Amino acid sequence: MSYLVNALALLVELAFDAVATLFLLRLAAEACRADFHNPLSQFIYRTTNPVLAPIRRVLGNWRRINLAALLVAWLAMLLKRLALFSLMGLLPHIPGLVVLSLAELLDFALLFYLVLVFGWSLMSMFAPDQRQPLQRLLGVIVDPLLRPLRGRLVVGMIDFSPTVVIIGLLLARVLVAAPLLDLGMKLALVG
């Protein structure tokens, strides 16, 4: 690929990943019942609601999972893959594109949580104000992952549960998401 195509591919990935991040944040905040009075929660809600409101009329929630936000995040991954294939001059097969975009959404969600757990653990080490909006939102979102291990892996004053969760997320990316991405790519290119 030429340098211009590489630059365009980078911009396409950044744009669609930003959209997917925003809708995954909405999905995670709703699923974890984040404090709506938090300014970051309000920003996420106001930004995503114009897109999600019409879809939610047709596609409701399943338990606490916002299926409309999940659909939009998956569509962002699908459109990203389609744009990247078109930049390379390829026309992918539809079943492979669907599998590839689902696998990419899974991989992206695992990476999303990995970054959130890492960021939360860094912020908690430096003990900022617990009322800080980002700290509160991250704490609510990562709590379901950390709760089963919290207090069980303490050595001295250090809780190693975020480390174990990060290792688990990395292993899930390598053992689950990567083979699905390979399968999706093969199906998209071969048919």
If the chain, 191 residues long, is cut into consecutive pieces of 10 residues, what is the mean pLDDT of each piece? 89 97 96 91 95 93 92 97 93 93 97 95 79 88 92 82 95 97 93 52
CA 26, 29, 33, 37 dihedral sign is negative
Q: Are 93 and 187 in contact (CB under 8 A)?
A: yes
Q: Look at residue 127 in the predicted model and tell me its pLDDT.
A: 66
> Count of residues for the chain?
191
Q: Which residues contact 26 (CB under 8 A, 6 or more apart)?
A: 44, 45, 48, 52, 66, 69
Q: Look at residue 156 in the predicted model and tell me its pLDDT.
A: 82
pLDDT digits (tens, 9 = 90+) for 164-175: 999 999 999 999
Q: Which residue has the tokens 């995954």?
A: 24
Q: Are 2 and 87 in contact (CB under 8 A)?
A: no
Q: Look at residue 190 in the predicted model and tell me its pLDDT.
A: 82
H-type helices in 66-154, by residue range?
67-87, 94-125, 133-146
CA 79, 22, 143, 171 dihedral sign is positive
CA 109 to centroid of chain Cα atoms: 3
**pTM of the prediction?**
0.91
